[in-house]
Amino acid sequence: MFDIVTIGSATRDVFLSSSSFKIVEGKDFQTGKALAMGLGSKLEAEKIVVTSGGGGTNTAVTFAHQGLKTACIGVVGKDANGDSLLSELNAESVDTSHFQIHDDDLTAYSVILVHESGERSIISYKGEGQHFSKDKLRLEELETSWVFLDSLGGHYDVLEGAVNWAAQKGVKIATNPGGKELDHGLEKLKLLFSNASVVIMNQEEASQLLGIPYIEEKKIFQTMDELVKGIFVMTKGPQGVSASDGQEIYTAGVPDSPIVERTGAGDAFSSGFVSEYIRSEDISKAIQFGTANASSVVTQYGAKAGILKKDDWGPWPLVDVKRESLK
């Protein structure tokens, strides 16, 4: 019997940091800025870190560190990177017996180029992560109290199968859907939202999904409260986080902590929030621990090195959580 099962992406991540990377501005870039190096140049990397990544594995390690009996389901290739990734998870006491091993592609791989400011750009090869199979999930073999659904590579049949299984078995659902899941659109995602105890998205994602202007935060919450069975949590980057249980809005900022690089911050917050909510069912404490976990992760390279252990809430003061009635 597991406390929680995560289903989501699994990758091999390589971080390269160089003081020679430059940030340049340009209208051709989605964010208005780019991480640049000279075409044809050869730069020295001052630091390299090789680790496992992907939302499914990152969240699983937080849950395991918090003392929850955890299994992770993802897809890897029949290669050295896949073997290493599974070994890392097993060393963290995460059960990997339901992982899918696919043999006609390579384990997903990401190269993360890190600027000295902590900002980064990611080159991602999806590889075997594209081959999630509903038929190989074997969910009927699992006994668990919770399931956490992360990025599923856009496979709606996997999402639909997991949600229907959880609903039939009385398994509570928490989710931080990936971009390809959100691309399915609101109508298809209503199945997930109406069965989920916790839904986590960032403000930009929620705005785009609902077709509501980014600045109309109250309207976003009003709409999501009608769709989500349980709690809707909206992260806002450096501005912090807001959450609603349909009765009250909970709002908090972020602590003044150092940032080495930001990869995995969202996974750390989501899994930290869900871990504490499972433990105490206290939304304020869940926000505080999720924020503490994310703040710790961004102080180190990689999405797992800074994940907090059980009973460790990090060295920074807990964020102040304000509550306001929706009525």
Q: Can you give the pTM of this predicted structure? A: 0.94
Q: How confident is the model at residue 277 (pLDDT cuts 50, 70, 90)?
A: very high
pLDDT at 249: 95
Q: How confident is the model at residue 261 (pLDDT cuts 50, 70, 90)?
A: confident
Q: Under CATH, which architecture does the 2-24+45-325 domain have? A: 3-Layer(aba) Sandwich (3.40)
Residues 279-308: b if buried by 16+ CB within 10 A, e if exposed: beeebbbbbbbbbbbbbbbbbbbbbbebbb
Q: How confident is the model at residue 222 (pLDDT cuts 50, 70, 90)?
A: very high
Average pLDDT for the chain: 93
Contact 198, 175 (CB under 8 A): yes
pLDDT at 290: 97
Contact 292, 283 (CB under 8 A): no
Domain spans in the chain, listed from the N-terminal domain onward: 2-24+45-325
How far is 302 from 276, CA to CA, in rounded Å?
Answer: 22
How far is 140 from 155, CA to CA, in rounded Å?
Answer: 19
Tell me the two tokens of residue 153: 């590579």
**DSSP secondary structure, 19-48, as one string:** TT-EEEE-TTSTTSEEEE--TT-----SEE
Q: In which element (H, E) is residue 144 found?
A: strand 144-149
